[in-house]
Structure 1
Amino acid sequence: MSLRFSHDGPAFPEQLVDALLAGEVVFLCGAGISTPQLPMFAKLVETCATRLGLEKNSSEIASFDKGRYEEVLGSLSRRTVDIGDVSRKVVSILQECSEGADLTNHKTILKLSRNLDNRPTVITTNFDTLLEKALEEAEGQGFSQNFSFAGQDLPLPGSTEFCGIIHLHGRMADDTINLKQTPMVLTSAEYGDAYMRSGWASRFLFDLCRCKTVVLIGYSAGDAPVRYFLNVLEADRSRFPDVHPVYAFASVESKNGPDTQWSTLGVRPLAYEFSIDQSGQQCHESLWRDLDKLAELVERPRSTRKEWAQKIIGKPYRSTEPDELDCVLWLLKGGRNLFSTAINTIEDPEWFDFLHSQEVWDERDASWVTATWVTKDLNSADRFRQAIRWMGKLGTPFADALGKNYESSKPPSVFWQQAWRILISSQTHALIKPDLKIYAATKTIQGSIVLNTDLYDAIELISPVFRITPRYDSGKNPPERLSDVLGVDWTVSEQYEVQELIEALLELKAPCKILEIASGKLSKFIATSADLDEIDESYDRNDYAVPSVEPHKQNEHYDGPIFLVQLIAGLISASSEENSFKTLSIVNAWRSMPGILGARLWMHALRDKNLFTDEEAINGVSETSLEIFWSIRRELPLVLRDRAMGATSHTLEKIEHRILTEGSAYYDRFEIEDSSIDWREHARDLAVWLRLNMLNAAGVLSANGKYELDLIKSRREYLDRDVEDQDFFGSYSYGVQTLDGDAQPLIEATEEDRLKIAQEVAESPDLRKQLGWGVYCRSDAIGAFDTLSKTAPADSNTKLWNTFINSLLLSQEDTDLSRTKLIARVLDFLSSANNSFLSSVVGSLSYLYSNISFQMRSEHCEWWPRLFLLAVKSNAGALDSTRDLYHDAINSPCGRLTQILLADIDECRKTNNKTRSDLMLNLKQAASAKGQEGAFSRATLIRNAVFTLSLNNQEVDEILDSSLTGDSEEAIALRSILVNLTENSPNISMRLSKHILTGALEVKGRGGVARAAAAKIIVPALLHISNDENADRWGITLEQTELALKNGPSILRVGASIILKQWMSAPGKDRAKVWRSSVGPLLARWSRDRDLCEKELTHHFADIAVASAEAFPEALQQVFPYLTFQQGYGNLHSLISSDIPEKFPRETLVLLWRLFGPGCTAIPYEVSKLLDRLVESEPAIEMDRRLQWLDQNGIRYE
């Protein structure tokens, strides 16, 4: 496939155009690009010989005739007295001809020759500087000096420096643009050296062809550079398969007969037809005209591609030329950025047939594009007919896309709403995920137009489907029935979302129709269950899958038929009001369905007075089979309760007789194994008891029935009660319950026996009785204390004492004063207890002590050291390094005691401006304690280090300093608390700086942990950088911060970058000033080690640059080396929400290119929106090759 802009111009292969747009093409330019201003090689040789005053000899004439002009010049140079005369004459001739030369062609070449970094890259064997002059006119005076290279001083192909106007054979001087002359390859000897003996030119061109696609322009197949270069290249092509193709523009009289010489050289000719101008010379207007159009595409691919596409596909398909069709195919293949253009431009639907036949898009894109196009006018009959046609071609994907577009733009007329809905529903939505199916169905049912097919689709989603699983444990060998070899699981997809769909169906004003459809689904479900051996004469597995046919809390967490059954039950009343005759027909069909589930629904319908009279309902129940009458626990008794009152006495006698006489016949059918308890009489009594109670509730139970009911109650004590909800179910879920203790035995006990009873209930296997003591303590705390205090505290009562002490914190009935007095009595009473007993309750006591008032703790200050020492001794084991030290500390006795100690010291300082001596002794005890509890105490002191160090207790400070030092598990854990949890302050930073720096290197975890640790070292550094007068008070130098960031883990640097971003973004700050005064200078000291250029930092460093506001260009330049390609889709929130794209479009493009340029795994869709903002802010940026690449490879949702 090729692009062709005219009948006489060249056809540009698709691969070449794509390479041009990717910046992978280099033009190798010959003398032809400068004609007719500059002479071709033959004319140059003629003129040179004439000005030298030399006649060509016979050998020179022979070489000239063969086009070997370099040999002629070589011979001429040997015949002159000064070998340099030839080159000087050549330069003189070219300089004269260059004056006032037309640079149009050269500018076109430069437009086509920029790489993705926007740098010009052109190679020429010409000596003139017309390309440089064209570049100066485009970019400004002096620009070309840094982009002009000549001779052997050439940039290496494939290197980052490879760019510029490269004169392969040397360059003449040009004083107007300050370019000096270089040695030139002009004669045959110089060609031989460049291409063969030294071979530097051959190597350059060969390396070029391995990394770029080369296009020759301005040459004929016999030109010297072509001969020397291509013969060498063709010899190496078979050995180096990575050599790129080489193209050459070839002028021909007719494209039916191209120049075959190019093909023999292994070059792909791009033929175009030349014409003869008035002077009799060849004219190459067709080439340059079409190259200029190609340059428009390369310079502005966004707008040009869109313009070309609109121009062609806006016409009727049959009026387009073949070249235009090729152009459309190239424009639309391989990218989605013109799909919206096609949708908004195409009027002739034949275009879609053509594009589909050419596989321009995959099935998904074809469905989306065509569906979007037809739904642009939902009131158009023509587009509706096209939709029908494409539905037949694309099927379900098209229907899905059509449905989504329809929902976003519904037609105003009811007729077209119905037409489109029917069309959409003609295909099943197999590709929609189950949850989206249910969501879509719910929205459809809630919509203004609901079709019959919508109802069927919705009920299908509510209906259960089965999954077969193998069975290995039936014990039947050989198997006797299907259930011996397979299991069946019935399920409904997305059962938590299906309830909303059920509610939508129940609200719809078509209950009879919905009931009819749902009843059909129920019939199919029951029939399938029977096929699967789930239903027989005495068993129906589905009965257990539906606790209640109507909504009930017992139905929660059930799957399978429960949803369909609940829908049916919920429709009966509304359906009977709409059409009682049809509803009755549907309901009566349930009675004869296999199994029990249909009968249960029928019985539920018996309660509806629009369908059945009381007599009909009770008579219907009385005529059911033995199995149905006795197996239904809920729906049958409810019919008796609700409908018995209006039944005739004869029917009531018949139903009561069945209840009193049939039970044994039903339950005696069940066989009891020899070793099992016979449960049948109990079950019979329960079933009869429930049914008789329902008749009694209806007020129709006979005297004989009441007598039988009383007998059952006397036989079964547990049935001597009212009927409860759980009696209607075979199994009953109470959900999550709060289990309350039973304190009654303690309340009723005498004071003398209460302690003994309390000890007994504490050891009872009944959990309610165990909890009874706690309930008693909370309800009568004083009485509980009186009970315990009757004997001395003993180890046998520790369980009771722990429960009692804990209850003092929970008591809500006693007044504060009585509670305070009681706690004082408890502390006084327990003060005489031995340490063995107190060790058993130290946890409860320390918790109680920590929660009493400061005044009470002061009055009982002797308890703190005693409790602390007991706690230390009770937990003398080693520290567990796998656990969170501070988490354990705050839940430990010593941790709580240390925390309240600090609070008491603070209270003293506030009230008396001094601290009690006993508290300072306690502080030392807390700091110096051994074992786990000692570590918990020190963890608490370190967590509150700001306050602890403010006490200026040298002994305590030295102990903490020692504890933080070293590689012990406790030291590491304490340093973690210091850097992660302790408040940051100058005093802490100064006095514990060495531990902070060590802890920063040990930091683990992400998020807030990493940020807190980083803040400890970053804040002092920022203050130093900004010359803050308080910087020295923090005790951490700038050099120490640098070293910590370099040697610390990656998460520390990530945390530091987040802190810097927050520092930049603080409200009320001049962000540019903050960057220049602190953040920028600090980042200038960030390690340049490549190993520390981590991808995790990229997002944060980019955000820092964005946050610098007016300093963005300089900030971006500084962080640029640390930015890497974003993997995945990156995070552009900061950039998107800022005005940086509008203020600095060029620099924003640099950032986007760095993050999402070639090598990135995915480009976020937000990039395309950002590119639009850049172009809107600075239209000229559209010509930037980087923006073009990002736009072409990005994702657009339009």
Structure 2
Amino acid sequence: MSLRFSNEGPAFPEQLVDALLTGDVVFLCGAGISAPQLPLFAGLVDECVGRLGLEKNASEAESFKSYRFEEVLGSLSRRTVDPGDVTRAVVNILQEHSEDADLAHHHTILKLSRSLDNRPTVITTNFDTMLEKALWDVEGLQRAQELSFAGQDLPSPGSTDFGGIIHLHGRIADEQIGLKQTPLVVTSADYGDAYMRSGWASRFLFDLCRCKTVVLIGYSAGDAPVRYFLNVLEADRQRFPDVLPVYALDPVKARELPDARWSTLAVEPIAYEFTTDAANGDQDHSALWRDLDQLAELVVRPRTTRHAWAQTILVKNFDASDLAERDRILWLLQGRRDLWSIAIRSIEDVAWFDFLVERKVWSDQDGAWILAAWIARNLQSVDRFRVAIKWLEQFDKPFSDALARNVEQSKDLPDLWYRAWRLLAASRQRFRKDIDLHFYAMLKILRGSVVLNNDLHHAVGLITPVFKLTARELSEGSSPNRLADIFGSRWIIRGQDEASELVDALVEVPQSHVIIAIATAKLQEVVGVAVDLDAIDEHFDRNDYSVPSVEPHVQNEHHEGPVFLVQLLARLLPAATQVDRETTRSLVTTWRNLPGFLGCRLWLHALRNKVLFSGDEAIAGLVALPQNVFWHIRRELALVLRDRAADADAELVTQVEQRILTEGNSYYQHYTIEEGQVDWRGHARDSEVWLRLNMLNAAGRLSGRGSTELATIKRAREYLDRDVEERDFFGSYSYGVQAVIGDAQTIVDAGDGERLEVALQVIHSPDIRKQLGWSVYCRTDPSGAFDTLAQAELDASNAPLWGTLIGSLSFPQGDSDESRSKLVISIFEVIKPANESFLKLIIYRLADLYFSTPRQSAQALTDWWPRLFSIAVHHDSEPFDASRELAEDAINSPVGRLTQALLTDIEWCRQAGALIRPELLKSIVSVASTEGRQGVFARAVLIRDAAFILSIDGQAVTELLDAALTGESVEAAALRSVLVNQANLSSTTSRVFCKHILQGVTEIGGRDRSSRAAAAKIMAPALSIIRQEQDADHWGISLEQTDLALKKGPPALREGAVRLLAQWIHEIEGGPAEAWRTSIGRLLARWSRDRELYEKELTQHFAELAIASADAFPEALNQLLPYLTRLHGRGSLYAIESSEAPEKFPSDTLTLLWTLFGPGCTSSLYGVPKVLERMIKAKPSIELDRRLQWLDQMALRYE
């Protein structure tokens, strides 16, 4: 594909144009760009010969004829008295011709040949300074001076500072600009040195071709630079496949006749035709420069130029466009998203879309979206409707989906057109199995004024389950005998949470008789799939277990499978019966005949409908049921007995009662009992008979024989001597997720002498409500619970009761009242005689109670501390598990509670202005010296509160904690984790435990809040030192130690540090900008420059920190830029979008966006265009920057 502006002009290859837009093209300019002001090489030689007063000899004439002009000049230099005369003549000629020259061509070249950062990058073998003069016009004298390079002093291709106007063969002096002359490559000897003996020119060009696409302009195939350089390039290309293309703009008399000599020089010619002056027959290159000017407009302003071109061309009828315009449109739209909206708004002639689709400009998915959006601009057009029919055949479902969305979003569309477009969109989905309409869209349709039959099919389909297979493990050496040995399966509902709402909406639709037929067909499909999955046999139906009740019931909650479909059928039954009784009866019959039990359950439910079936029909249906169905189905069969037996013939009722009384034993005999298994069959038979007889009794039709059998069952099965409850209708009954409230009534009702025995029975009851009765009693009447236990034995059997009572008194809500305090003291007094074997059973509860009870006025309680501590330590045989969260386990352990209580008592003494009691200080030492797991917990609590510990006068545990933190044991590492992740930051802690902090921060794990807490232990001292608030001696940690810890630590530490700084920059006095300049920036200046620590995970955080620096953003970005890389995966624009950076600092914002989202980024660019718009509004000239242009073209849009 190529970009072409005119029939006679060059067809620029797409690859070249794309490279121009990304700043990857360098123009290599010959004498032709300065013609006709300056002579071409041949004219320069002729004029030089004349000025020297010489004539060409035979050898020079032959070289001149063969275009080897450098050989002519070399020969002339050897024939003159002063070899420098030739060079001086060349310089004089060029300076004379350069006066008042037309620089239009040079301006065009400078627009085209620029790097991505807009730096002009032009290579020329010309000696003149016309390019510098053109640059002076545009960017000023200083830039022209700074960016002019010549001779061997050239910037290296590929380096960060590569660019400028580079005179490969040297440059003449220019006094106006202030440029001195450099050595010139004029003669054949000069060329030999530059390209062969020294080779500096050829090396430069070889390197250039590896990093830039080169375009030759102003040369012919025989020119000296071309011959010396490009003859070698083909060999270089074969050895180095990374050499980029080289193009040559080549004038021809006819496009079909390019200069054949280019093909031997490893160059791809881009031909254009000479323009002939009709008046005098002169030929010129105006077609080239005219089209290059247009190309330059694209390169300089691709955004506005592309939009203008697309709109100008696409508003035409397709037949009115020429080939060049069609090529241009293909290039504009291929692989880019920025012009979709232009195409949708501008095209009127549908032939444009036919052309673009044929050329595969878009993917089918994107094309379907664009075409549907174009259609939606006029949904009342017969022509567009006709076009949509054709496109639907080609693009199928993606187009119908996109069209449906557009139709639903349209406003004020007449019902006629709405119906037409909905039918069209649905026409490709009618026979498809997948259902892609979302629940919310379907709910909107069902509640609207137009509901199509197809809508009903889709809605029922949405509540129809689909099956999912799961892998099964087969034991080694065995072979599969059934499908279930190979895979498992389950039903799933997409959008299960919304399914109930959709069922409600379907029930409200007037066409109940239609919906019940559709739902019946769907149920048949589901049952058929279950049969294929071996999920149904004579005695088993997986669908049956997934539907506790065929009619809506709380027991159906949290069930998957056909439950919503079945509930819909049950709810539709009354309305469908009213509309068409006979058809509904026919459908109900199909339910009965479905394999498995579920269909039959629906049929039984229908038998309860008095309009559909008489009482005789209902009971006769029960009589005729197969044995396995009669005894398997519980709820629906029982409800038929209850609701219809009263209306049925007595003989039929007698027959069904006879089945109930006589068949149970034979039915349950088909179940086999394994050896050693309790025979449950009698219980099951009696439960089923009991339920069915109770239903007949409720209907008033239970016979004397039936009453006798019911009474017999109640006597034999005490648990059945009661009324029928709702749970009896279900094989299993769920109470759902609810707060189970204990029942304390039996304890309350018990006499004083019996209450303990009743409480012991209650806590071992299988009924969870009764189990919780003692807990309720302790909370509601703790004094009564205490009185119950006060005289009881302090042994293991009563320990659970004591534990519950103590637990109910621990951690009271609100202030502790006097009665509770007295009761706590009484509890400790009563259990005082207990031995350790009893106390160890309730040590967790006792430690909680001790910790949560004020002890200042109760000396008797503090006397318990050593005893409780000893029991907690000596009766814990569990090993320390370093994989768990130490701080969490420590504060919730008995020793942890007791250690916290100890610290609370010390703090109370200090606040009261009293001396700290010696036994408290002694206890701290005891705590810190404890062995075992509880000792680790105790030390963890002390280290967690290290700042407080170190502030206690007279404490002697510092050395003990220091020793515990030292070394490579699992305990030491775990304690260091508590120190850096949990302990509060203080300068004293930092100073005393500095070496452990510095080691601990290098050992942290995952990236979470703890990584920031750890980072704070070293970043806060560093920031304090930087701000000259305190020195390193005060913190015990120097800046150098912080540097080393960050370098040695895991990535999580560095991420935590950067995220912490992003938080602190808003909290430091003076505002974010001042914070950056005085603190954060100075601290980050010390951040490691080691490339091994160049972590892409920090890019997002560093970028957000730079943005957070507010008015210091430019300097922050400049400092952090080396640490930023392309974003991968999920990136965020929020920090930039919510800041003022796009308006205040558009250039710097662009640098940041390019660094984050430039080529190689895998994050979405969605949202970038809006930021770019803000930047352009603030600084219109930034639109010329090629980085902005690339970002704009690549960004994702949904407009």
TM-score with structure 1 setting the length: 0.91
Contact (CA 8 Å) 1:396, 1:429: kept in 2 or not? no
Determine the C-alpha separation between the residues in 1 that align with 2:548 and 2:989: 65
Query: What is the aligned partner in structure 2 of residue 1055 from structure 1?
Result: 1056
SS of 2:165's equivalent in the other structure is strand
Superposition RMSD on alpha carbons, in Å?
A: 3.8
Instruction: Tell me if 1:335 matches 2:336.
Output: yes
Query: What is the aligned partner in structure 1 of residue 1081 from structure 2?
Result: 1080
- Which piece of structure 1 moves more, 431-440 or 1060-1069? 431-440
- Which piece of structure 1 moves more, 1122-1131 or 575-584? 575-584
Query: What is the aligned partner in structure 2 of residue 268 from structure 1?
Result: 268
Shift in Å, 1:1067: 8.6
Determine the C-alpha separation between the residues in 2 that align with 1:482 and 1:1009: 49
Query: What is the aligned partner in structure 2 of residue 455 from structure 1?
Result: 456
Contact (CA 8 Å) 1:1168, 1:1194: kept in 2 or not? yes
Determine the C-alpha separation between the residues in 1 that align with 2:528 and 2:340: 50
Counterpart code for 2:711: D
Determine the C-alpha separation between the residues in 2 that align with 1:82 and 1:1014: 75
Shift in Å, 1:35: 1.0
Query: What is the aligned partner in structure 2 of residue 1140 from structure 1?
Result: 1141
Instruction: Tell me if 1:155 matches 2:155.
Output: yes
Question: What are the Cα deviations for residues 158-203 of structure 1, in whole angstroms up to 9, with x where unaligned?
Answer: 3333322111111111111111111111112222222233333233
SS of 1:860's equivalent in the other structure is helix
- Which piece of structure 1 moves more, 283-292 or 332-341? 332-341
Question: What are the Cα deviations for residues 522-547 of structure 1, in whole angstroms up to 9, with x where unaligned?
Answer: 34555666677776778766544533
Determine the C-alpha separation between the residues in 2 that align with 1:1131 and 1:480: 53
Shift in Å, 1:723: 1.2
Determine the C-alpha separation between the residues in 2 that align with 1:95 and 1:354: 54
Instruction: Tell me if 1:1127 matches 2:1125.
Output: no
Counterpart code for 2:257: G
145 and 678 in structure 1: CA distance in 2 versus 1, 3 angstrom threshold: closer
Query: What is the aligned partner in structure 2 of residue 180 from structure 1?
Result: 180
Contact (CA 8 Å) 2:811, 2:852: kept in 1 or not? no
Determine the C-alpha separation between the residues in 2 that align with 1:828 and 1:1119: 67
Shift in Å, 1:933: 2.6
Shift in Å, 1:316: 0.9
Query: What is the aligned partner in structure 1 of residue 198 from structure 2?
Result: 198
Query: What is the aligned partner in structure 2 of residue 907 from structure 1?
Result: 908
24 and 696 in structure 1: CA distance in 2 versus 1, 3 angstrom threshold: same
Instruction: Tell me if 1:824 matches 2:825.
Output: yes
- Which piece of structure 1 moves more, 482-491 or 379-388? 482-491
SS of 1:177's equivalent in the other structure is coil
1118 and 537 in structure 1: CA distance in 2 versus 1, 3 angstrom threshold: closer
SS of 1:983's equivalent in the other structure is coil
Instruction: Tell me if 1:320 matches 2:321.
Output: yes
Counterpart code for 2:82: D
Determine the C-alpha separation between the residues in 2 that align with 1:967 and 1:353: 73
Contact (CA 8 Å) 1:878, 1:931: kept in 2 or not? yes
Structure 2: 5+ residue stretches without partners: none
Contact (CA 8 Å) 1:924, 1:956: kept in 2 or not? yes
Query: What is the aligned partner in structure 2 of residue 881 from structure 1?
Result: 882
Shift in Å, 1:134: 0.8
Shift in Å, 1:1085: 2.2
Determine the C-alpha separation between the residues in 2 that align with 1:572 and 1:979: 67
Determine the C-alpha separation between the residues in 1 that align with 2:997 and 2:1105: 25
Contact (CA 8 Å) 2:555, 2:733: kept in 1 or not? yes
Question: What are the Cα deviations for residues 627-652 of structure 1, in whole angstroms up to 9, with x where unaligned?
Answer: 6655542223323323445x26xx14
Contact (CA 8 Å) 2:549, 2:556: kept in 1 or not? yes
Determine the C-alpha separation between the residues in 1 that align with 2:1113 and 2:101: 43
662 and 188 in structure 1: CA distance in 2 versus 1, 3 angstrom threshold: closer
Shift in Å, 1:422: 0.7
Query: What is the aligned partner in structure 1 of residue 948 from structure 2?
Result: 947
Determine the C-alpha separation between the residues in 2 that align with 1:1042 and 1:1071: 23
Counterpart code for 1:287: L
276 and 750 in structure 1: CA distance in 2 versus 1, 3 angstrom threshold: closer
Shift in Å, 1:1194: 3.2
Counterpart code for 1:348: D
Shift in Å, 1:379: 1.9
Contact (CA 8 Å) 1:23, 1:115: kept in 2 or not? yes
1114 and 533 in structure 1: CA distance in 2 versus 1, 3 angstrom threshold: closer
For 1:687-766, list aligned pairs within 5 A.
687-701=688-702, 705-735=706-736
Shift in Å, 1:801: 4.8
Shift in Å, 1:896: 0.6
Contact (CA 8 Å) 1:435, 1:494: kept in 2 or not? no
Determine the C-alpha separation between the residues in 2 that align with 1:536 and 1:930: 63
For 1:157-306, list aligned pairs within 5 A.
157-276=157-276, 282-306=283-307
206 and 837 in structure 1: CA distance in 2 versus 1, 3 angstrom threshold: closer
Counterpart code for 2:131: L
Instruction: Tell me if 1:919 matches 2:920.
Output: yes
Shift in Å, 1:274: 2.0
Query: What is the aligned partner in structure 2 of residue 12 from structure 1?
Result: 12
Contact (CA 8 Å) 2:657, 2:706: kept in 1 or not? no
Counterpart code for 1:831: K
Question: What are the Cα deviations for residues 1103-1137 of structure 1, in whole angstroms up to 9, with x where unaligned?
Answer: 12111111111111111122222222422211111
The correspondence for 2:662, drawn from 661, 664, 673, is 664
- Which piece of structure 1 moves more, 349-358 or 446-455? 446-455
Contact (CA 8 Å) 1:253, 1:273: kept in 2 or not? yes
487 and 244 in structure 1: CA distance in 2 versus 1, 3 angstrom threshold: closer
Question: What are the Cα deviations for residues 929-954 of structure 1, in whole angstroms up to 9, with x where unaligned?
Answer: 34333332222222223332332224
Determine the C-alpha separation between the residues in 1 that align with 2:628 and 2:1015: 75
Structure 1: 5+ residue stretches without partners: none
Shift in Å, 1:358: 0.9
Query: What is the aligned partner in structure 2 of residue 1177 from structure 1?
Result: 1178
Contact (CA 8 Å) 1:213, 1:244: kept in 2 or not? yes
Shift in Å, 1:682: 5.7
Query: What is the aligned partner in structure 2 of residue 59 from structure 1?
Result: 59
SS of 2:206's equivalent in the other structure is helix
Determine the C-alpha separation between the residues in 2 that align with 1:15 and 1:468: 48
Counterpart code for 2:1149: T
Query: What is the aligned partner in structure 2 of residue 373 from structure 1?
Result: 374
SS of 2:251's equivalent in the other structure is strand
Query: What is the aligned partner in structure 2 of residue 655 from structure 1?
Result: 653
211 and 85 in structure 1: CA distance in 2 versus 1, 3 angstrom threshold: same
Determine the C-alpha separation between the residues in 1 that align with 2:481 and 2:821: 75
Determine the C-alpha separation between the residues in 2 that align with 1:654 and 1:149: 113
891 and 298 in structure 1: CA distance in 2 versus 1, 3 angstrom threshold: same
Contact (CA 8 Å) 1:26, 1:212: kept in 2 or not? yes
Determine the C-alpha separation between the residues in 2 that align with 1:695 and 1:892: 59
Contact (CA 8 Å) 1:434, 1:493: kept in 2 or not? no
Determine the C-alpha separation between the residues in 1 that align with 2:87 and 2:941: 90
906 and 578 in structure 1: CA distance in 2 versus 1, 3 angstrom threshold: farther
- Which piece of structure 1 moves more, 1170-1179 or 309-318? 1170-1179
- Which piece of structure 1 moves more, 324-333 or 682-691? 682-691
1074 and 1031 in structure 1: CA distance in 2 versus 1, 3 angstrom threshold: farther
Shift in Å, 1:1072: 1.4
Counterpart code for 2:253: E
Counterpart code for 1:655: V
Identity %: 57
- Which piece of structure 1 moves more, 35-44 or 1127-1136? 1127-1136
Contact (CA 8 Å) 1:462, 1:492: kept in 2 or not? yes
Question: What are the Cα deviations for residues 697-738 of structure 1, in whole angstroms up to 9, with x where unaligned?
Answer: 234545665455434434544432211223323444455688
6 and 875 in structure 1: CA distance in 2 versus 1, 3 angstrom threshold: same
Shift in Å, 1:371: 1.3
980 and 256 in structure 1: CA distance in 2 versus 1, 3 angstrom threshold: closer
SS of 2:362's equivalent in the other structure is coil
Shift in Å, 1:269: 2.3
Query: What is the aligned partner in structure 2 of residue 1096 from structure 1?
Result: 1097
Question: What are the Cα deviations for residues 482-526 of structure 1, in whole angstroms up to 9, with x where unaligned?
Answer: 999998766555544433332221232322221122223334555
- Which piece of structure 1 moves more, 902-911 or 364-373? 902-911
Question: What are the Cα deviations for residues 7-51 of structure 1, in whole angstroms up to 9, with x where unaligned?
Answer: 221222222222222322221111111011111122222222222
SS of 2:141's equivalent in the other structure is coil
Query: What is the aligned partner in structure 2 of residue 960 from structure 1?
Result: 961
1091 and 658 in structure 1: CA distance in 2 versus 1, 3 angstrom threshold: closer
SS of 1:270's equivalent in the other structure is strand
